[in-house]
Structure 1
Amino acid sequence: MTNHDEAAALRPLTLAWVSRHLEADERIVGTEALHGGSTAEMRRLTIGTRDGGTRDLVLRSFVDPLSVEHAEDWLTREAGALALLTGTGVPAPGLVAADPTAAQGEYPSLLMTHLAGRTVLGDEGLETRVPLLARQLVAIHALRPAERPREYVALTTADTVVVPQGADAAVWAAAIDVVRRPAPPYEGRFLHRDFQPGNVLFDVSPSRPAGARITGVVDWAATSWGPADLDVAHCSTNLALLHGPAWGLRFAEAYEEAGGALAAAASERLYWWVRDALACSEEVRHVAQPWRKAGRTELTTRAVEQRLDAYVIALTDALG
């Protein structure tokens, strides 16, 4: 529902900051909360234009105290990524303004253009969407920016993995041993670093799911430089948890079918893919919550844990 009392939806300093970045004679005429994000508050702002029409912007603000401490880094990186992506053909939002330290508003924020489309997390039409996701990721990895983003960061260690209750202990012990090894050598690529169905917008009709097309890729706050396998692994993990382990394995095949190059050795692929799956073990509750809010109510924390266990088993069977 749109809230036409913009002052009630935006705090005064933020309202003033946004207004300074509008065209002459433009004003905010409505706001709408956007759902699906897990770290930031997202609002669509409807802007009344001088010719009597409207256009939309998106305001991304970090309001949670735990997120605010990382906001400067995340928003600075996202602003840089959006500026870099302009004109590349990758369907990303356009940067309007950034206030990473809340110097001008109540919260660290970023203002960007609004992209048409919606996230699609259901099972129907998945056989069409997976190749589209793969082709889009290949296009992202093909970018060669004049200035590279910073090297990827992997926070999960063998000691921080959380083994799900009832999981196959022997399989998980072997998987944990995999990430104790040094990272394999790799050829660096431009990474989104959180490429997954929740960050991809589609134009798709419920009556024609096979006619889906991607209209946008959002949330570039973790943009990095690193192995293509890491981005592929992350999307694979999300697909496995949303739709079942077989779809996680299928995404890697679709990525190669689209022209993407992955690590040649199975042991190297296993390292990256297991690393991402084990990273998810630490935040299953955090991952599952926005999916349930988006309508996948069957994906309880326990259900997602069980799918994660099945996916780790599938990975070790396929690559171990």
Structure 2
Amino acid sequence: MTPVLTGFDYRRVPVADGVSLNVAVGGTGSPVVLLHGFPQTHLMWRHVAADLASEHTVICPDLRGYGASDKPAEADSATYSKRTMAADIVALARALGHERFALAGHDRGALVAFRTALDHPRAVTHLASLDVLPTLDMWDAMHGTSAAVGFHLYLMAQPPGLPEQMIAGAPDAFFGYFLDIWANDPDAVPADVRAAYLDACRAAVPSIVADYRASAGIDVEHDQADRDAGNRLTMPVTVLQQDWGAALGFDAAALWRAWATDLRHSTVTSGHFMAEEAPSEIATAIRDLLAR
């Protein structure tokens, strides 16, 4: 049986033509939307969501192309652009009765959250980003042999065909590799949750690749346009990251300060899957953000 968020109600919510998202909703109070990363689903928030639901309405969707949400074919570069996925999230919140909401994202979900806050600043009251750089800065930061840690970014940036075929040839080995190397605490992702992640990824290879391909093309264009226009995040922003900036030779906090006028940037000691490895710390950080 696939794990679920205990005490949360599940529903499918239409957000665009032919696209509905699988979403878990629980708790009462001001809304907080939590967006998952790769290679995960909304289940990555299971501890944090339960914690925050004592004070907030917590909304945990599977992103377009992931988990049990719809996976439209990649018609063009916009299908899985972060702008399109951000519009999904705003439509989801509105369908659930929320014109304004706080937003936290991890990894791929953090890129969607970043774009949502830039494109829909009146909708996003607070923004939390977990262990990622904005797309434009990420590509600028990756260089030399240190960029080998992001080999998957370059693989999935290739034109349609080869990356999908290669990954589909051994999906559990590919996606499981990241679950293994990115976790400091292997027990943070129990066997049933790991199996659910792998099942979901195995069924979503084309859409996951399309998501990453967009980040090497149209998402960069959108970020560059905002940078050229001087657009910035004006809501309170919290960024939590591992200290990989030092290893890759850049100042992550400085990169984020260029985007956010009200920023708190902190490093954490957990691995990449910090919402599963250090859930109390992450829930506290989100509460502190919401108090600003």
Q: Same fold (TM over 0.5)?
A: no
Looking at both structures, which has the greater relative contact order when contacts are Cα pairs under 8 Å and sequence separation is at least 6? Answer: 2
- Tell me which structure has the larger Cα radius of gyration: 1
Q: Normalising by structure 2, report the TM-score.
A: 0.29
